[in-house]
Amino acid sequence: MSTAIVVGGGIGGTAAALALVRKGWSVQVLERAPEIADVGSGISLWSNALRALDALGVGDTVRAQGLAEVSAGIRDDRGRWLARTDVATLRERFGAPVVIHRARLLDILRAALPEGMVRTGISVREATTDGAVVHSSGTSSADLVVGADGIRSVVRRAVCGEVAPRYAGYTAWRALVDIDEPLTEFGETWGRGARFGMAPLADGRVYCFAVYDAPENAPGSLAEVRDRFDNWHHPIPALLAAADQNTVLHNDIYDLPALPTFTAGRIALLGDAAHAMTPNLGQGGCQALEDAVVLARSASEPDGLARYDRERRPRTQMITARSARIGTIAQLSARPLVTLRNTALRLTPTSTQLRSMAEILDWKS
């Protein structure tokens, strides 16, 4: 039986483990966190990700977390529509996206794994191209090592050496909140050098995020974020007022430069370790799920890792570049450029929006 060590027990790593198990592999997942905690933000799962989850046998379970009747689009900070998404056509053309708590998605993926496969509290110090992994409990080896250990991946060093993430120029605050009024609108509000997004979850909570231009590693507080967005349209101030200081997440936004390869020897990179991207297309986790399915399909074949690299690297790097461009446009701050951007959004037909999404969302496993 072929063996694999997956470094990282997040969404990409857990999905890779499940995909390999379903192909008959013996898998061990090494996760540095001492326990899998019920924390995190929401994640958008578009139709391409849902097809990947179908291949993992959990697609229907995840779809059950979605909401049926919603609206979506982009507004300006006064609440005026800049672009409306034709949700009915989107649903018919691609299938409805699902927004889910990351912890809930991880629960679903882990529940499909054999018990005891994920080892927590294991810090990986080094991986080598011959399949060895040096970690806090010793050294393990396998036929395949999957680097799913995030944007600052240790495993990636064995494939590409040191690669520094690139700061996008903006920072994000994310929260899951409860508010009294029901919310059925997905979407973003674009201002000058700042954005706000919201998405209702099936459990009644709302996932929201505030993004604004800032120097790298700049200090900040939730109170300052509330002040920054205080005059934006309803329900943005109410959502921020409901955010809990103890659970809100604050992270600067980074992506990775295009790597020359995702594989070396017995190592394959996936998810943020391979192609960390800005969240502007909602595709980071979706691409990790695609990676997992393609890697498991390829790994047992002759020259399989090279095939995985040829299939995944061009696609993910195209999406990374597109996401970065959208972020640049969304974060415009000069008034003339913001006016031009907003006018262009209002004049762009819905059909053009859907065509631009097709290259990403039409992926099939």
| pTM score above 0.75 | yes
Find, among 309, 291, 275, 288, the residue nearest to 163 by Cα: 275
Find, among 204, 200, 206, 244, the residue nearest to 225 by Cα: 244
**Residues of the chain below pLDDT 50:** none
**How much is the pLDDT for 20?**
98
Neighbouring residues of 113: CB distance < 8 A, sequence distance ≥ 6: 14, 17, 18, 21, 29
Q: What is the DSSP letter of 166?
A: E
Q: Where does 257-365 show beta strands of DSSP type E?
A: 263-264, 267-269
Find, among 176, 168, 173, the residue nearest to 224 by Cα: 173
**How much is the pLDDT for 181?**
79
Please state, in angstroms and rounded to a whole number, the distance separating the CA atoms of residues 141 and 136.
Answer: 14
- List 44's β-bridge partners, or say none: 99
pLDDT in tens, 146-177: 999 999 999 999 999 999 999 999 999 999 99
Please state, in angstroms and rounded to a whole number, the distance separating the CA atoms of residues 145 and 129.
Answer: 8
Token pair belonging to 177:
């909140």
Please state, in angstroms and rounded to a whole number, the distance separating the CA atoms of residues 99 and 70.
Answer: 12
**How much is the pLDDT for 69?**
58
